[in-house]
Structure 1
Amino acid sequence: MLPTITTTPTRLTTIQKVKSNLLFRSTLSELNGAMGDLGTYIPIVLSLTLSKNLNLGTTLIFTGFYNFLTGAMYGVPMPVQPMKSIAAVALSDPSFGIPEIMASGILTGGILLVLGFTGLMKLAYKLIPLCVVRGIQLAQGLSFALTAIKYVRKVQDLPKSKSLNGRDWFGFDGLVIAIVCVFFVVVVNGAGEKEHEFDEIEEELGGLAGQYKFGGRSGGCVAILGAAKLVLGFVLGSSLAHFFQQFPVGILGVLLLFAGIELAMACRDMNNKEDSFVMLLCTAVSLVGSSAALGFLCGMVVFGVLKVRNLTSVKSLSSIWKHEGQEQV
């Protein structure tokens, strides 16, 4: 009788899994992919550094650490991005300083942690209508874009959040350079092209799609970016801010403009007339009242009223008038 050989499935240890996640698929492609998310990261962090005195060294260290951590854990080019909505409020509201930015980040992280651990994320997804979320995104995106246009048109005193005289046409920080930058971004980014099959997916994934498009395939892609941020943060620290103070604010405004447009374009999936109405109402209240919370509250109330109207089968006045007009004809 021959002895039976039993094979036990081998499980990857934590160290082996981390090594596998950080392994480059193609060195040049991964290095190129690491740069794919900087188009969003640099203008937002730079704007907050110049206008709100954000500590650039600390920001580089912590974002670099989390870049390396996400690459090691997930094995895909998972980006670490500043939230455009928080940045939009911070840049458009002079009273929104570093303490408010920190509180917003901590509260956002805490809420997401609770929702993730308790499994309430699905419940929140069902209770909060997508049209209300899109309305807030559209308002923040437009606010971001309007602030960016102000950066382009006017000379800025960023620490005081004040606009000064109109910007000169020529010079290192002139309007001509900013307009050339707009054309360059449009041509390189492909803005205005026909929609492709994966456009909707790329819009939802944001930086992940950008890094994937540039060649990133593994966690090593963001890990190398995180290592570069850590080196810059520890070696140069906040002294980088003095260097970036010479950066042309007009070009920075152009980069912020496209970041705001990207945030606002999330609303293009609202095809239903009723959802579009709620979305635009949220946007209008948020912009006029300068309060996203007020816009959210009004959107939820109006959405609930419309749902009750649909359930009770009460005809709107416009439909009654339309029906009477057809009878008279």
Structure 2
Amino acid sequence: MTAQTFRQITAHNLKTFRRNYVSEISGSLGDLGTFLPIAIALAINGTVSLSSTLIFSGLFNILTGLFFGIPLPVQPMKAIAAVAIARSFHNGTIAAAGIFVGACIFLFSITGLLRWFADVIPIPVIKGIQVGAGLSLVIASCGNILSSLGWIRPSWADNLIWAIAAFIFLLVTNVYRKVPYALIVFILGVVFAVIRSALAADLPSFALWRPYVVVPTPRQWSEGALDAGIGQIPLTTLNSIVAVVHLASDLIPNVRTPSITAIGLSVAGMNLVGCWFGAMPVCHGSGGLAAQYRFGARSGASVIFLGILKLVIGIFFGESLVGLLKRFPSSLLGVMVIAAGLELLSVGESLNTTGARDIMKANFGLLGDQRQDIAPMLSDDDRRKRWTVMMVTVGLLVGFKNDAIGFLAGMLCHYGYELPGLWEKVRRRWNGRIRLQ
């Protein structure tokens, strides 16, 4: 990154925050519906250090905001987290998984494999990954978070009544977008959590962070890498790097979109540093970007604010926050996750419009600084094929709960449609050689 680019990003961050600081602060909290439940679950089991997770994720929030200038989230690595929670991983095992994934992504980035991989994926498949991730968030929220709530249970501050109220409020803010939904809901949730913690005599206390180093044993290296790390690599590559770059370009076109390689190196660096200190393995995700954008974030200033908040809380309160965060209402978190999912679902709408990157490139191909109209608009048959490829990707991704399976299914569907054209090219080339002979 050049000094001029850094100055431009800094100017954009400052200008956006000064004009819309309420929206930026509200947007910064949009991804907490994903971050908090996983971080709390891992901290309760002793798998990660909550203070280290807050401090390092906060530091990474600040750095990504400074260098990328967009509300890029710092999210848990969900595949690793799911295995770690189910099997009660030791902190060395989850650290090994995160470091392994970070090392693989670093290798893919510096060799150019990541860039090549992103270039060969058709836009309908990328859109399918994004829409599938959004639908998965909605399903997970309804099935895992909200389904356990009753009309008046588990408490007066966390029940279906509050979930319905939060959802109605969300629908209202679809019309009045300037209302800082996430900020209002977060403050309400913190108030409820403080009251419940005070009644249980379990309020946070002052406790300075005491850093320590986690060194995995050989057995933890093999268990973490093989049982959790390998399954995370396709999810990180597809949803946290490729999809997030395309989504950033769609949502925030007025800001320079980070390159695939830059995002890959960012993901690698976060895990090659933080996991050694007991922090949760993290990545950048399209769901988090959609959530933060939905709730008002438009620049890196939003995540810089969030990062500073995490740093302060992690350094001075750390592990004592577990009890308070456990009492944050699931009803409110669940609706925030639904909002993120719905925002991500909406990107599928641009699949067959000039907003899609491949259509824009085809119709307005860049040649130096000149735009040339070099291709016609899509036919009805092309639209149907593209829609089918996207929905095959979505269906298999959601059905198997696996990004890699959805990706492979979408690619097979895409190349299935390409076979007649490829066969025709081969036939023509073969006939041409026969004539020359």
Range class of TM-score, shorter chain = 0.5 to 0.7
Q: Which residue matches 1:69?
A: 63
If the length of structure 2 is used for normalisation, what is the TM-score? 0.52
Native 8 Å contact 1:30 1:221 kept in 2: no
Asked whether 1:176 is paired with 2:161, we answer yes
Deviation at 1:275, TM superposition (A): 1.6
Please show how residues 235-314 of structure 1 align to structure 2 within 5 Å: 235-271=316-352, 272-312=383-423
- Aligned match of 2:34 in 38, 44, 49? 44
Deviation at 1:107, TM superposition (A): 6.0
Give the Cα–Cα distance (whole angstroms) in 1 for the partners of residues 422 and 142 of structure 2.
Answer: 44
If the length of structure 1 is used for normalisation, what is the TM-score? 0.67
Against the structure 1 CA distance between its residues 43 and 200, is the aligned structure 2 distance closer, same or farther, given a 3 Å change threshold? same
Which letter does structure 2 place at the counterpart of 1:283? V
Give the Cα–Cα distance (whole angstroms) in 2 for the partners of residues 303 and 190 of structure 1.
Answer: 37
Native 8 Å contact 1:152 1:253 kept in 2: yes
Native 8 Å contact 2:80 2:97 kept in 1: no
Native 8 Å contact 2:62 2:305 kept in 1: yes
5+ residue gaps, structure 2: 178-247, 258-285, 353-382, 426-437
Native 8 Å contact 2:25 2:305 kept in 1: no
Q: Which residue matches 1:136?
A: 129
- Aligned match of 1:154 in 142, 148, 155? 148
Q: Which residue matches 1:188?
A: 173
* Secondary structure of the corresponding residue to residue 327 of structure 2: coil
Deviation at 1:230, TM superposition (A): 0.9
5+ residue gaps, structure 1: 1-10, 156-165, 193-198, 315-329
Which letter does structure 2 place at the counterpart of 1:278? V
Give the Cα–Cα distance (whole angstroms) in 1 for the partners of residues 35 and 125 of structure 2.
Answer: 27
Which letter does structure 2 place at the counterpart of 1:133? I
* Secondary structure of the corresponding residue to residue 75 of structure 2: coil
Give the Cα–Cα distance (whole angstroms) in 2 for the partners of residues 209 and 259 of structure 1.
Answer: 4
Native 8 Å contact 1:202 1:209 kept in 2: no
Native 8 Å contact 2:71 2:298 kept in 1: no
Native 8 Å contact 2:30 2:292 kept in 1: no
Moved more, 123-132 or 226-235: 123-132
Please show how residues 91-110 of structure 1 align to structure 2 within 5 Å: 95=86, 106=99, 109-110=102-103
Q: Which residue matches 1:35?
A: 25
Which letter does structure 2 place at the counterpart of 1:63? S
Against the structure 1 CA distance between its residues 153 and 92, is the aligned structure 2 distance closer, same or farther, given a 3 Å change threshold? farther
Which letter does structure 2 place at the counterpart of 1:137? Q
Deviation at 1:21, TM superposition (A): 6.4
Moved more, 103-112 or 285-294: 103-112
Native 8 Å contact 1:175 1:250 kept in 2: yes
Native 8 Å contact 1:65 1:230 kept in 2: yes
Give the Cα–Cα distance (whole angstroms) in 2 for the partners of residues 34 and 64 of structure 1.
Answer: 16
Against the structure 1 CA distance between its residues 232 and 174, is the aligned structure 2 distance closer, same or farther, given a 3 Å change threshold? same
Structure having the higher Rg: 1
Deviations 1:156-204 (A, max 9, x none): xxxxxxxxxx443893222221111011122224489xxxxxx983278
Which letter does structure 2 place at the counterpart of 1:266? V
* Secondary structure of the corresponding residue to residue 40 of structure 1: coil
Native 8 Å contact 2:294 2:340 kept in 1: no
Asked whether 1:233 is paired with 2:314, we answer yes
Deviation at 1:147, TM superposition (A): 1.8
* Secondary structure of the corresponding residue to residue 31 of structure 2: helix
Give the Cα–Cα distance (whole angstroms) in 2 for the partners of residues 258 and 55 of structure 1.
Answer: 28
* Secondary structure of the corresponding residue to residue 158 of structure 2: coil
Which letter does structure 1 place at the counterpart of 2:166? C
Native 8 Å contact 1:30 1:216 kept in 2: no
Cα-Cα RMSD: 4.4
Native 8 Å contact 1:31 1:224 kept in 2: no
Deviation at 1:49, TM superposition (A): 2.8
Please show how residues 52-67 of structure 1 align to structure 2 within 5 Å: 52-53=42-43, 55-67=49-61
* Secondary structure of the corresponding residue to residue 30 of structure 2: helix
Deviation at 1:112, TM superposition (A): 4.8
Give the Cα–Cα distance (whole angstroms) in 2 for the partners of residues 148 and 212 of structure 1.
Answer: 17
